[in-house]
Amino acid sequence: MPAQPAAGHKSVLAELDRIAERRRAAGLHRELRPRPPAGAGQPPLDLASNDYLGLHDDPRVTAAAARALRDYGLGATGSRLVTGATELHDELERELAGFLGLGSATVLSSGYLANLAAVTALAGRGDLIVSDAGCHASLIDACRLSRARVAVTPAGDPSAVAAALAGRAEARAMVLVDAVQSADGAVADIAGLHRVCREHAALLIVDEAHALGVVGPGGRGAVAAAGLAGAPDLVVTLTLSKSLGAQGGAVAGPANLRDHILNHARAAIFDTALAPPAAAGALAALRILAAEPGLPGQALANARAIAAAWGVPATGSAVVPVVLGDPVRAVAARDNLAARGVHVGVFRPPSVPAGGSRLRFTARANLGEADLDRAAPAPGDLPD
């Protein structure tokens, strides 16, 4: 007979059903919704993904991935420092750095790991990190792993950042911000934050995940839009899984940053390298973006059209939030749209603050007029 828990102790797994009940009652339960393969019936109109340029299934991208699959195999076989380094990774890094106007780029197997790598390799115990309240969970986790002191400032408030930096006792400090916040689409004041950082000798790290391919000249991001590409006190992180339609992430900045990441970032040293087909697909997508600089403008124009149809302000990014407040109402609205073949995201706490549950529409460059008509609200979409 199995041993019984000691008196007063609780089994972690025994609590899961009760936790699930509370989660469902609050309208916060999440579950997977698998996508069928292409060609399996009429697909819904996808206004939920982060494929902002519509490149994830572009024949030029998938053909490049298929060639890499034949040339290198499916997996990288090891970390970059062991067997996972390929010419494809080096080529992707050179072209990413060149496109962004930066001295180097280091590719990792996800955007999440790119943020962990950048922060933990550049900050540690005895340092200060000032983190914008809207930062992605990967940056929040990076702060925790860094062991630095962390000050969280209100979203989009350079004056609060300045106050946090001015009152510090630590010699070294860095500031973290998402170029575009994933839940509300707001574009950060990169120029204002950089001025504050320079005044207080702090490093600025900008996560361009939702900005690359959409914001800035030719989709080069919010840093380029602020005229700060190549600034010596600024580091960029990004993902290859959104506008570039692939998978992976990168840390980019001055030329000497790459060696530092490869030698000091545990997320780079101990993780299997990005799979070669994903690297090849991202490289092909990057070349398409460079050759077709009108794509970002198309994504933004479609976002403005969706925002106008729903009567909400445009954000300056491809993200269009429709705030409904109550999570149960937001889920019901998502399901009503799904019933008529329109797939949108639904964001609830903890992804957004309490009372901020919302539908999140994401525009793509390849949406047509018929798609935009379907994206407009129809009777019954929003529950009473």
Low-confidence ranges of the chain (pLDDT < 50): none
In this structure, is residue 31 part of a structural domain? no
ω before 350 within 30° of 0 (cis)? yes
Looking at the chain, list the stretches that DSSP marks H as alpha helix, in order from N- to C-terminal side.
16-25, 59-72, 87-100, 111-122, 137-146, 158-166, 190-199, 222-225, 257-264, 266-269, 276-291, 295-310, 327-339, 369-375
DSSP state of 180: B
Name the residue type at position 56. H
pLDDT reported for residue 40 = 65
Please tell me whether residues 361 and 239 are part of one structural domain.
no
DSSP state of 315: -
pTM score of the predicted model? 0.92
CB atoms within 10 A of CB 78: 13
Domain boundary among 254, 273, 291: 291
To the nearest 10°, report the CA torsion of 207, 167, 261, 115. Answer: -30
Distance between CA atoms of residues 321 and 314, nearest Å: 9
In this structure, is residue 18 part of a structural domain? no
Q: Phi first, then psi: what are they for 128, rounded to 5°? A: -115, 135
> H or E segment at 205?
strand 203-207
In this structure, is residue 222 part of a structural domain? yes
Please tell me whether residues 218 and 310 are part of one structural domain.
no
Are 199 and 233 contacting, i.e. CB atoms less than 8 angstroms apart?
no
DSSP secondary structure, 360-376, as one string: EEE--TT--HHHHHHHS
> H or E segment at 231?
none
> How many domains does the chain divide into?
2
Residue 37 C-alpha from the chain's centroid: 24
Residues 6+ away with beta carbon under 8 Å from 265 = 116, 117, 118, 120, 121, 251
Name the residue type at position 249. G
In this structure, is residue 367 part of a structural domain? yes
Are 346 and 183 contacting, i.e. CB atoms less than 8 angstroms apart?
no
Please tell me whether residues 181 and 318 are part of one structural domain.
no
In this structure, is residue 382 part of a structural domain? no
Token representation of residue 299: 């994504």
CB atoms within 10 A of CB 6: 6
Distance between CA atoms of residues 355 and 184, nearest Å: 14
Token representation of residue 232: 């010596």
Please tell me whether residues 275 and 313 are part of one structural domain.
no
Distance between CA atoms of residues 287 and 99, nearest Å: 9
Which domain range does residue 353 map to?
40-56+294-375
Distance between CA atoms of residues 198 and 53, nearest Å: 34
Distance between CA atoms of residues 114 and 252, nearest Å: 10
Residue found by looking up tokens 């050759």 in the block:
291
Please tell me whether residues 255 and 171 are part of one structural domain.
yes
pLDDT reported for residue 9 = 78
Domain boundary among 246, 268, 291: 291
DSSP secondary structure, 101-123, as one string: T-SEEEEES-HHHHHHHHHHHH-
Distance between CA atoms of residues 37 and 32, nearest Å: 15
DSSP state of 15: G
DSSP state of 187: B
Please tell me whether residues 224 and 326 are part of one structural domain.
no
Q: Can you give the CATH number for the domain in which 208 is found?
A: 3.40.640.10
Distance between CA atoms of residues 169 and 146, nearest Å: 17
pLDDT reported for residue 34 = 78
What integer best gives the mean pLDDT of the chain? 95
